């Protein structure tokens, strides 16, 4: 095989490689469009007026991703500990507590926030109680309702949960529970612990950057293949 032929074959190989890189870039752009399409209705819901749940609104469906407010008392006897949580690599748990509103019979689950825990399981929930009347403001999030994703686990007398699963929790509580979780967001008037979580970001993720990288790899492959494959010998 002559050097000229080897050069041409090398160039063809880099074209195939570049095509693969370009295809990955196109796939990332497709993922970007899907992400933006999924974020659009959430952004619209978040911009809608705040909903007062005290007014007896029972329809949980349209409440997803709306800002809500409700007054009631926490049922700390039913605190839920979500295990295997972490913040910046630090193990911990998150605390979810049913709120019994003054209006209506149905409780509302409130994600109160994050607490460090060395084993990401055990925490002294008694030290995190918030007694008395509470005004809870936050973002209403949809809940899983599979009945199996909660995976409650009893270790040394403390029950922890893998995640909030509506059907599993409804089976354990003696009162109705609405099909929405309130993410209580940070507020200077709240106790330091649990540390409240910020709302989930509605950004583009890394898809655009990944697409640019893949297209950059494709261009580099063509340039290198051309310079090597067609250089003078």
Tokens of 132: 């008395």
The pTM of this model reads: 0.80
- Residue 37 contacts by C-beta under 8 Å, 6 or more apart in sequence? none
Q: What is the pLDDT of residues 142-176, one digit of tens each?
A: 888 877 777 888 777 788 889 899 988 998 899 99
Q: Which pLDDT score is estimated for 55?
A: 62
Q: What is the pLDDT of residues 70-90, one digit of tens each?
A: 999 999 999 999 999 998 889
Tokens of 232: 């003078």
d(CA 112, CA 216): 44
Q: Which of 128, 124, 121 is nearest to 92 (CA)?
A: 121
Q: Which of 86, 89, 41 is nearest to 65 (CA)?
A: 41
Q: Which pLDDT score is estimated for 26?
A: 94
Q: Which pLDDT score is estimated for 60?
A: 43
Alpha helices in the chain (DSSP H): 3-47, 166-172, 207-229
- Crossing angle for the helix pair 3-47 and 207-229, to the nearest 10 degrees: 170
Q: Which pLDDT score is estimated for 152?
A: 80
Paired strand residues for 159: 154
Name the DSSP class of 175. S
Residue 74 sits at φ, ψ, to 5 deg, of -75, 140
User: Are 65 and 132 contacting, i.e. CB atoms less than 8 angstroms apart?
Assistant: no
């Amino acid at each position: 095989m002559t050097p000229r032929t080897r050069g041409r074959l090398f160039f063809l190989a880099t074209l195939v490689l570049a095509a693969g890189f370009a295809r990955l870039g196109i796939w990332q752009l497709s993922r970007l469009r899907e992400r933006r399409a999924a974020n659009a209705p959430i952004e619209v819901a978040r911009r809608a007026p705040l909903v007062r749940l005290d007014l007896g609104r029972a329809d949980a469906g349209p409440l997803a991703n709306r800002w809500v407010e409700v007054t009631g008392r926490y049922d700390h006897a039913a605190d839920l500990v979500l295990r295997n949580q972490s913040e910046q690599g630090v193990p911990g748990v998150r605390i979810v507590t049913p709120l019994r509103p003054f209006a209506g019979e149905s409780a509302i689950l409130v994600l109160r926030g994050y607490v460090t825990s060395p084993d990401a399981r055990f925490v002294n929930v008694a030290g995190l109680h918030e007694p008395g009347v509470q005004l809870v403001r936050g973002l209403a999030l949809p809940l899983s309702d599979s009945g199996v994703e909660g995976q409650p686990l009893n270790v040394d007398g403390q029950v922890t949960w893998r995640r909030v699963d509506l059907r599993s929790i409804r089976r354990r509580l003696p009162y109705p529970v609405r099909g929405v979780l309130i993410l209580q967001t940070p507020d200077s008037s709240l106790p330091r612990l649990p540390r409240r979580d910020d709302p989930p970001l509605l950004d583009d993720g890394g898809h655009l950057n990944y697409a640019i990288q893949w297209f950059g790899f494709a261009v580099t492959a063509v340039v290198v293949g051309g310079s090597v494959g067609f250089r003078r010998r």
